[in-house]
Amino acid sequence: MTLVLSSCGGETSTQPSTDEQIDGVVRVVADDTQNFDKDRYTAAAGSVEIEYVLDGFQAHNLLIEGFEGEMVLEVENGETSTGSISLESGRYVLYCDIAGHREAGMEAQLLVE
Ligand SMILES: [Cu+2]
């Protein structure tokens, strides 16, 4: 007996429009425990917008390894900071460069595809 599993791929691939995708924002949340809310973030290649949200009071910043000269987001006292950077597909590392923070856990992957 043969089981035929027919999956009629009902996925309609959404064509990329010429409009900027607002929901392409990468949201990174930091807190006073010196951690990001995720170990890995994803983004679409091109202009990547990053929203850095501080759920706490301690000062933090956010940089992308190898692109430190292009974007630095800084927050303290519950602030949100946003910035954008042009990235090709690949793996990147996000981190906070305040002394000791990266070692404490403020490091995450950013997967751009
Ligand atoms: Cu930090």
Question: Domain locations in the chain?
Answer: 23-112
pLDDT at 7 over 80: no
The pLDDT confidence band at residue 21, using thresholds 50, 70 and 90, is very low
Q: Residue 2 in 3-state DSSP? A: coil
d(CA 71, CA 87): 12
Instruction: Determine the pLDDT at residue 1.
Output: 55
What's the Rg (C-alpha) of the chain?
18
CA of 104 to the centre of ligand 1 (A): 9
Taking domain 23-112, whether its CATH number is 2.60.40.420 is answered by: yes
The predicted-structure confidence for 47-99, as pLDDT tens digits, reads as follows 999 999 999 999 999 999 999 999 999 999 999 999 999 999 999 999 999 99
Instruction: Determine the pLDDT at residue 24.
Output: 74
CA of 24 to the centre of ligand 1 (A): 24
**Average of per-residue pLDDT values in the chain:** 87
CA of 16 to the centre of ligand 1 (A): 35
d(CA 54, CA 59): 9
